[in-house]
Amino acid sequence: MRVAWVMKLKPGCEEIYKQKHDEIWPELVDLLRRQGVQNYSIYRYGLTLFAYLERDEPEPLGRPHDPIILRWWKLMEPYMEYNPDGTPWIEPIEEAFHMD
């Protein structure tokens, strides 16, 4: 299953966002892999972030977020647009074309 979405950086946070991802926590990568996530990429165009990942199955609805994810989100909150509930603002986007 392929999934993509956009997010937004706050102005002036481009370098720190890149640095944090260059230093991504190994335990976060391990968690994502255990959850079936593969081929995860984030691209930046100005302040717009485009994220794409593949996973074995859809993410289960209603599953609580892992504490590692919650810690990462808290770390990234100063640099990105966030929802009032402390989750990153995301806008899912529709796949218009795919070629294997």
Architecture of the domain delimited by 2-92: 2-Layer Sandwich (3.30)
Model pTM score: 0.91
| Plot region of 69 (φ>0 → left; ψ -120 to 50 → alpha; else → beta) | alpha
Q: What percent of the chain has pLDDT over 70?
A: 100
Catalytic residues, by residue number, are 21
Domain residues of the chain, as ranges? 2-92
pLDDT at residue 88 tops 90: yes
Q: How confident is the model at residue 14 (pLDDT cuts 50, 70, 90)?
A: very high
**pLDDT given at position 85:** 93
Provide DSSP, 34-57. Answer: HTTEEEEEEEEETTEEEEEEEESS
Tens digit of each residue's pLDDT (9 = 90 or more) over 41-68: 999 999 999 999 999 888 888 889 999 9
Q: How confident is the model over 81-92, as a mean pLDDT?
A: 96
